[in-house]
């Protein structure tokens, strides 16, 4: 998520970041290592940042009638993510001044699995992403990047529904996972990349690649399986 955030900001895109798992200062510190300032981006209105950790507390200390993107936290009906969608839509709504200033709009969500932990059903989360895709991708020709954790628990039906639903909607799937052989100081894991093709009879089949990686201080090194410099 840090890579995509810095990438789209450097590409001069208008970014809406729904951060449900870390604070703004965390992303800002990592962003500075990657060459971007989230504070400057927010001040020039290129970045709209929803800090879920802070908002989750603030929502209980504001009047009931005031709308809030995380309104579902204090309602019995946790299926209603419409306020969160309205926040995204307004954040990426083009204005006359911003039409020329920014390129395509981008929605980043880190991460959707948190919504399941807060009691939101997988179907409601998929509906939220569906409406966001209709607005951001189809209507405004932008992109959506969302992170989801795979618990690996066969009994977590809601998480499986969310993962499968998002997989069918995605054009590109990046799956980061640890090594099956266990911990290694020179290889931290592997990344599976799947390009999904449009569901057309004449379209070529999905294409996938697998790389291993090592996380460094300001970057990540990728290499083919078994081709780590430490091995060679």
Q: Does residue 108 sit in the same domain as residue 199?
A: no
| Paired tokens of 224 | 């083919």
Q: Which domain holds residue 204?
A: 171-231
| Mean predicted lDDT score pLDDT of the chain | 86
Render pLDDT for 143-193 as a digit per residue (tens, 0 to 9).
999 999 887 666 788 999 999 999 988 999 999 988 888 878 888 889 999
* Long-range Cβ contact pairs of 192-195 (< 8 A, separation 24 or more): 195/171
The residue from 130, 155, 170 where one domain ends is 170
Render pLDDT for 38-93 as a digit per residue (tens, 0 to 9).
999 999 999 999 998 888 777 777 776 667 888 888 776 667 899 999 999 999 99
The residue from 170, 195, 210 where one domain ends is 170
pLDDT of residue 79: 73
Q: Does residue 130 sit in the same domain as residue 205?
A: no
The residue from 170, 187, 218 where one domain ends is 170
Q: Does residue 152 sit in the same domain as residue 52?
A: yes
Residue whose tokens read 């409601």: 124
Mean pLDDT of 15-32: 95
Query: CA 76, 50, 72: angle at the middle one, nearest 5?
Result: 5
**C-alpha to C-alpha distance for 104 and 106, rounded to whole angstroms:** 7
**C-alpha to C-alpha distance for 10 and 14, rounded to whole angstroms:** 10
Q: Does residue 143 sit in the same domain as residue 210?
A: no
Mean pLDDT of 191-204: 72
Number of structural domains found in the chain: 2
Residue ranges with strand state E in the chain: 14-19, 47-51, 105-110, 143-146, 172-177, 189-195, 207-215, 220-224
Q: Does residue 152 sit in the same domain as residue 216?
A: no
């Amino acid at each position: 998520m840090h890579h995509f955030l810095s990438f789209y900001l450097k590409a001069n895109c208008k970014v809406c970041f729904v951060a449900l798992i870390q604070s703004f200062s965390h992303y800002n510190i990592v962003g500075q290592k990657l060459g971007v300032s989230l504070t400057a981006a927010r001040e020039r209105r290129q970045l709209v940042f929803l800090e879920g950790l802070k908002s989750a507390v603030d929502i209980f200390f504001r009047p009931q009638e005031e709308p809030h993107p995380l309104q579902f936290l204090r309602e019995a009906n946790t299926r209603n993510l419409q306020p969160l969608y309205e926040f995204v839509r307004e954040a990426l709504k083009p204005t006359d001044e911003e039409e020329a200033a920014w390129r395509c709009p981008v929605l980043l969500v880190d991460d959707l699995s948190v919504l399941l932990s807060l009691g939101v059903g997988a179907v409601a989360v998929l509906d939220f992403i569906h409406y966001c895709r209709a607005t951001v991708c189809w209507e405004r020709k932008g992109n959506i990047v969302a992170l989801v954790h795979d618990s690996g628990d066969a009994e977590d039906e809601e998480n499986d529904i969310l993962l499968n639903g998002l997989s069918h909607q995605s054009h590109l799937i990046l799956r980061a996972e640890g090594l099956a052989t266990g911990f290694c100081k020179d290889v931290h894991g592997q990344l599976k990349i799947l390009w999904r093709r449009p569901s057309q009879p004449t379209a070529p089949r999905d294409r996938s690649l697998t790389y291993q990686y090592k996380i460094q201080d300001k970057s990540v090194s990728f290499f083919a399986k078994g081709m780590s410099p430490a091995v060679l």
